[in-house]
Structure 1
Amino acid sequence: QRRIAVPLNELKKVPHIIGVAGGLDKVDAIIGALRGGFVNLLVIDNYTAEAIMEKIEK
């Protein structure tokens, strides 16, 4: 398994950060990444998108 790690303070300096995720088990992590400003373009499936919208509208 390969991983690339970037310190969060360095990640915030990158102008375009694309997040790719899917699955209902990732909803909280995706919301956290968006709220934290760590992602500015997100590619997800429609089921995950609907779950995120339901959760943030509460």
Structure 2
Amino acid sequence: MHKQLWCEHVEKVAKYITVEYRFGNETKKLRIQSWLCPECGVHGANSEVILPIAISR
């Protein structure tokens, strides 16, 4: 049986969360996006490491 990534329902909700991981004195942030169909459930997720931005003045 072949399982589709997306269903035929039109309504989808996306949610973003940020998770911090601490390694000793270093912190890494991970941003996670998940998609949900109210009728079928979770359809997938995507994640990326958030790189720190250096601001020079």
**Normalising to structure 1: TM-score of the pair?**
0.24
Q: Per residue, is there more strand in 1 or in 2?
A: 2
Structure showing greater radius of gyration is 2
TM-score for both structures, normalised by structure 2: 0.24
User: Which of the two has greater helix per residue?
Assistant: 1
